[in-house]
Amino acid sequence: MVSRSDTPQDTVALVPAAGRGERLGPGAPKSLRHLGGEPLVVHAVRRLAAARSVAAVVVAAPPGAADLVHDLLAPVITTAELLVVEGGGTRQASVAAALAAAPGHCDVVLVHDAARALAPPELADAVAAAVRAGHPAVVPVLPVVDTVRQLGPDGVVSSTVDRELLRLVQTPQGFARAVLAEAHAACDDSLTDDAGLVERLGLPVHTVPGHPNALKVTRPFDLVVASAVLASESAMAGSRV
C-alpha cells in the first residue's frame, strides 16, 4: 500500500472560487452555495487536500470573503497547507492571483474549479502524475455521447461534427509551474480554461480519462445531480463500514 509520505508532495492546487454564479440564480457566490449542508468550496478543497500529491491549496475567494472562506476551510483541511487570497474579475485573474501566492517549492500546479466540487482525489493524483511524467499540460476529458451539430448564422444546421474526435474538458488541469506562469503572462482574458492558454503558446496538451463526478455545477439542475452523486458516495461509504 502507498502511504501519503511515500509519494511526492510538491504539487499545489489553485482553486478559482470567486465567480458569482449568476446562472445558478440569485443568492450567495456560487462557491459558497450549499450542497449536502456544506459550501461547494469546502467539498472541492477537502477532496483536493485528500489527494496524495497535493501539498498546498490556494483558494481565490469571492471579493471581500477571503477571511470567511479561510475560516470555513481551516478546520477541515489538515493534511495540506492552506492559503486564501481574493479572486479577480475574471476566472483567469483569479487563477493568476492564486498562482502568485503559491508556495515556491511546488513545481507542479493543478487548477481546479470550486464549481467541480465532487471531483475525486484520485483524479487530481492522475493529472499530477502525468505532469510529473513530463507532460507540460494535462487535462482530464470525457467522451461526447450526444450527437453534435453545428449551426450556421441563420440558426439552421450546417453540418454534423464527428463526435469521435470531440472531448469534454474538466478540471483539475495540471501544469509544469513555469509553463502556466508563461501562459498567463502571454495571454489575454478571453479563454475559459488554463489549458487553452498553454495551447496558444504552441505546447501540446495531454489528456487523461476524466470522471463523471467532476461535473461542473453551473445551473440549478446541476445541484440536483451533484446531490445525487453525494448521496451515492455516502451510501457506498456506509456499505463499506
Interface residues with ligand C5P (CB under 6 A)?
Answer: 16-19, 30-31, 60, 87-91, 94, 113-115, 216, 218
Q: Which is nearer to ligand C5P, 77 or 129 (CB)?
A: 77
Q: Which is nearer to ligand C5P, 7 or 187 (CB)?
A: 187
ω into 103 cis (within 30 of 0) = no
Q: Which is nearer to ligand C5P, 119 or 128 (CB)?
A: 119
Cell of 160: 454534423
Phi, psi of 91 (to 5 degrees): -55, -45
> How far apart, in whole angstroms, are the C-alpha atoms of residue 23 and residue 97?
24
Q: Where are the alpha helices (DSSP H) in the chain?
A: 40-49, 66-73, 91-101, 121-132, 177-186, 194-200, 220-240
Least Å from the CB of residue 95 to ligand C5P: 7
Q: Which is nearer to ligand C5P, 19 or 210 (CB)?
A: 19
Least Å from the CB of residue 24 to ligand C5P: 9
Nearest residue (beta carbon) to ligand C5P: 19
- Beta-carbon contacts of 26 under 8 Å, excluding residues fewer than 6 positions away, are none
Least Å from the CB of residue 113 to ligand C5P: 4
Least Å from the CB of residue 8 to ligand C5P: 26
Residue type, position 214, single letter = A
